[in-house]
Amino acid sequence: MAQDPIVLIIRMLGEMYAFIVIMRFLLQISHADYYNPISQAIARLTNVPVLAISRAVPRVGRIDLSALLYAIGIKLVVLLLIVLASGMAMPNLLQLLMLALVGILDAILTIYFWAVLGSVIISWVAPGSYHPGPQLIQQVTEPLFSLARKVIPPIGGLDLSPILIFIVIQLIQSQLGRLLF
């Protein structure tokens, strides 16, 4: 069954912008280099709404949740627009909020999955690269790697932490579908 092109456009644009906002949140929590050109671009694309939200939402420790709340809001609006454009019956707000939360969590896990995979490939192909892309990937994934290395330390120079991270991500993502139903 073919989908409505309007729904596909709404979903694609919404998911792309939500990805950028989620990346801002992940860059903040991993304390990635703010002066990296990619970080600067992400900050410019999201500054106005995130700064407005950050005035109203207090920080939790050293973590600024305004970007995460903005991403949830974007996801909620995208879901609402998809429901309206497709002519489906309007679910209640709690259901839409739950779908948005699960969608954001799934997007964060997917970003981390690909970032860890990219970090592993970069460590083989171009370790110590000065390009802004690989540096940013390394900075975003390093907190995950250091956490996983506490569970599985490197064995004979072989770092098995990416395997643990992949397993945990897959376990959590497999349970997200159950959470919705």
Mean pLDDT of all residues in the chain? Answer: 90
pTM for this entry: 0.89
Lowest mean pLDDT among 14-28, 83-97, 149-163: 83-97
- Residue 1 pLDDT grade (very low, low, confident, very high; cuts 50, 70, 90): very low
Q: Identify the burial level of 137 via C-beta atoms within 10 angstroms of its C-beta, where 0-12 means exposed, 13-18 middle and 19 or more buried.
A: buried
- Round to whole Å and give the CA distance between 98 and 104: 10
Residue 4 has pLDDT above 60, yes or no: yes
139 or 58: which leads in pLDDT: 139
* Residue 173: both structure tokens together: 């993502």
CA-CA distance, 135 to 119, in Å (whole number)?
9
Q: Residues of 66-95 as b/e, b for ≥16 C-beta within 10 angstroms?
A: bbbbbbbbbbbebbbbbbebeeeeeeeeee
- Reduce the DSSP state of residue 57 to 3 states and report it: coil
Distance separating the N- and C-terminal Cα atoms of the chain = 23
Q: What is the pLDDT of residues 92-139, one digit of tens each?
A: 888 889 999 999 999 999 999 999 999 999 988 988 888 899 999 999
Q: How many whole angstroms separate alpha carbon 42 and alpha carbon 142?
A: 20
Confidence of residue 5 (pLDDT cuts 50, 70, 90): confident
User: Which residues have C-beta within 8 Å of that of residue 71, sequence separation ≥ 6?
Assistant: 18, 21, 22, 25, 104, 107
Cβ atoms within 10 Å, residue 112: 18
Domain edges within the chain:
5-180
Q: What is the structure's pLDDT at 181?
A: 61
Share of the chain above pLDDT 70, in %: 98
What pLDDT is stored for residue 85 in this prediction? Answer: 86
